[in-house]
Chain A
Amino acid sequence: MGIPNSFLSSYHKLTQSNSKHAVEGITEALSKEVHPSWNIKITILEIGGFNTRGTTSESLVTVPEHPAYTAPDSVTKFVRGYLSGPLDQGDAHKAAREIRNIAYDDTVGLRVPLGLDAIGMVTGQLEAIQKDVAAAGKFSVDLK
């Protein structure tokens, strides 16, 4: 689901638990559990925004706005407006073409961000985590 990176870049720290985090976690664990002799390769596709039925009201469940989140600069208000407007996202047919290519490419890593928006978000998240980890070091210098 694509939301402009320029908008989201300041919100990378809002790392809330969601169903796709859960998928990433269990898939990474599963990829480490399978024995190499089984000849199984697992790839996580971190998919960016593409025009599909998924962002239409038919597929996207929208719940009523919580009364505490009605400020004009509320981030969730922005997201609601963004998703209800005409979306200018990637071409899903081209994404499907690349997903097929990925399926037959043994050189890819465990994760494949797909779409420039996805690559931007993952890069931003890495930078945010690096910064947090660097700032956290002082609490762990003398814990043994």
Chain B
Amino acid sequence: MATLRKPSALSDLSAKYPASQLLVVKLDVTSPADIKAAFAKAIETFGRVDVVYNNAGYGSVGEIEGTPDDVARGVFEVNFWGSANVARETIRVFRDVNKPAGGRLLQASSMAGVSGMPGIGYYSARWAFLIPSSLPTTN
């Protein structure tokens, strides 16, 4: 299952693979309702969720002093709050829905999450696309 804001961006892959192999679901990680619905769809279709790759994010470039609050907060809304809300729902599903309980959560951070990098102070993740957005997958 692949989740992303604009499912049409994966139309080449969804044309190639049936929904039983690749289920594409719209998900904006800033929407808690979208997050709940995406997990519900995965459970309805596959019965459980084994691996979640929580990858949605984007970056802003500029001096920290020169970055307007709305730009900085926009980055945090996706990169922090979106990521945290997906992680919380992931843990709930792994524990309470999966029978037997368990699962693997991969949280996409960045080398800039370890060492503060100038010019991208509020920043974050660079590839919202290749493995699109947070991606509940199943075996």
Contact = CB atoms under 8 A, between A and B. Distances in A.
A50 B131 CA distance: 13
B39 interface: no
Interface residues of B, number: 59
A16 interface: yes
B119 A78 contact: yes
The winner among A15, A23, A40, A46 for most chain B CB atoms within 10 A is A23
Contacts, number: 240
Task: Bin the interface of chain A by size.
Answer: 35 or more
A143 B102 CA distance: 44
Interface in A46-103: 46-50, 52-55, 59-66, 68-69, 75-76, 78-80, 83, 92-93, 95-96, 99, 102-103
A1 B117 contact: yes
Interface in B27-80: 51, 53, 57-68, 71, 74-76, 79-80
A19 B122 contact: yes
The prevalent SS among residues of B at the interface is mixed
Interface string A119-130: 001101100100
B112 interface: yes
Contacts of A44: 107, 109, 113
B61 A83 contact: yes
B61 A79 contact: yes
Given A40-B105, A103-B106, A65 B62 contact: yes
Contacts of A8: 115, 117
B87 A59 contact: no
A52 B131 CA distance: 10
A118 to B, nearest CB: 4
A121 B111 contact: yes
Contacts of A18: 112-113, 116-117, 120-124
18 contacts: A1-B110, A15-B115, A19-B76, A19-B122, A22-B79, A23-B84, A27-B107, A37-B101, A38-B101, A40-B102, A42-B105, A47-B127, A54-B129, A59-B129, A63-B60, A76-B119, A99-B106, A113-B114
Interface of A: 1, 3, 8, 11-12, 14-24, 26-27, 30, 34, 37-50, 52-55, 59-66, 68-69, 75-76, 78-80, 83, 92-93, 95-96, 99, 102-104, 111, 113, 115, 117-118, 121-122, 124-125, 128
